[in-house]
Structure 1
Amino acid sequence: MQKIIKAPAKINLTLDVVRKREDGYHDVEMVMTTVDLADRIQLTTIDSDRISIDVSHGFVPNNENNLAYQAANVLKSRLGINKGISIVIDKQIPVSAGLAGGSTDAAAVLRGLNEMWGLGLSMSELAEIGLEIGSDVPFCVHGGTALATGRGEKLEFLPPPPPCWVILVKPPIGVSTRDIYQRLKVNQLIHPDTNGMIKAIEEQNFEDICSKLENVMEKATFELHPSVKNIKKRITQYGADGVVMSGSGPTIFALTQNDYRAHRLYNSLKGFMEQVYVVRLLGTKHE
């Protein structure tokens, strides 16, 4: 038996860090949505009771450190499943980019194996299992558009934002989320207007969505990597409707509803950056 699943990337329309918790994690408040840039996951049953993984990217582990491998392993362990599975990942989402590439792969494996193995688990149950793997996995299990709080696992779903183009620019560097959190001075942050973003989405007000794009991690990432700040400045100068960094970076994305502007931005950015993508915003939950 074989199954192929798409694992879409996520972007943060807002990202706020509320406080540092006693357990070392941070409480966050962020509005996330999915975009049509996706990895392709191929699941194939194998005779032996083991997990095989193969990834088409040199910087992604082909072993138990891969989150997709961990997803299959947690599912097998939790439910006592003695079946083997081969996982082949065709990477299209940039690595270490702030786009939840590893988390969405893990979520896709959970959804795919739930169906292949006839487990009958609900999305909420899969999301609970996914939290063992990473804070972004529960959102990636569901997909769509949501306000995420706690460590990112508490989700309140929102309607999809109005259709638009998303231009993503990934500079040739990786950013450690841990390093960025360590640099954050939580008591000095200027917090995004999260409620305003939610209202703009509910009212389908694209201009307000663009004006309320904000990410409190930008300052720390820009200090460590000034080139990321320069990319945001350049995209803004090129005339995007709204520009912000996703996650802890280094990917910067821009929104526009104008076809000509989207492709003009792409062509302008392609002149000096290798990893530039023009995709559509998805924003709808997985079935």
Structure 2
Amino acid sequence: MSGITSICKGANTVLSASSTTVTNPVFKWYTDASLATTPIYTGTSFNTGALSASTTYYVTVSGDNKCENLPNTAKAITVTVNEFATSADITVANTQICSGSTAMLVASSLTVTQPVFTWYNDPSLTSVAFVGPIFTINNLTATTTYYVTVKGSNRCENSAADAKAVVVTINPLATPTDIIVNGGTAACAGGSATLTASSPSVTNPVFTWYSDAALTNITFIGSTFTTPIINITTTYYVTVKGDNKCENAAGNGKAVVITVTPVANATDVVANDATICAGSSAALVATTTTVTNPIFTWYRDAALTSVA
């Protein structure tokens, strides 16, 4: 016997019989093992016609030197009819990447035996992009939809209408306008500042603080950043990334300037000593020519622990 015995639903196959022991063989094809019905075909090659379910045929032979097989002794040939796979037979997730980076799509199936996955560029399934379960796409710059099918020993490949669509979304880069920074941006020399970042436009934001505009030197990761001790005016750069945005590009972080004011010293204060009689009062007047909008605080001790 020869011929394809595993076909897709709605297809047909041609089965061919031959014999090396029967002279001038005549083959008859039946649908029942008892051979009680009229043969559906007589001849060497039998075209099944379109099949919608697995079917077993029984073929007999007779010739110059052999009589036809007896009931239940015919040769049985089963044509297995496989259903077409559907999108439900494929497990694969959409993914999100940054522009120019690499996406990896992984397909699997719990219902198809020995699955073979084919990825297409178009919904009509005319342009094959890749064959295999793991499809790697490099340097994507625009959101793209791919279509994956599966076939195996128990399923035929999906039709175009039933392929699984997989979307690779290209997330935009965050910009400084995606970040809001609150907190003190002024500090005294030898002090520090606490800054808090938030974003109304980035989902599940992750903030990274840098000490340089090129974003090469990370100082902290998190929304609330307390600077180290600083003695000069310093600029920090904060970026954000999340489910819907990629991290700011180098040179495009949000700049936050911490202005450092030097500590005043005795030479910044002008005040005269006073001499009074016991029991009298004195008015002490302080001025400065070096401090803008000065606020003077008077203490009783040099350690500045007791405010007068």
Please identify the structure whose Cα radius of gyration is greater.
2
TM-score (norm 1): 0.18
Which structure ranks higher in relative contact order (CA pairs < 8 Å, sequence separation ≥ 6)? 1
> TM-score, normalised on structure 2?
0.17
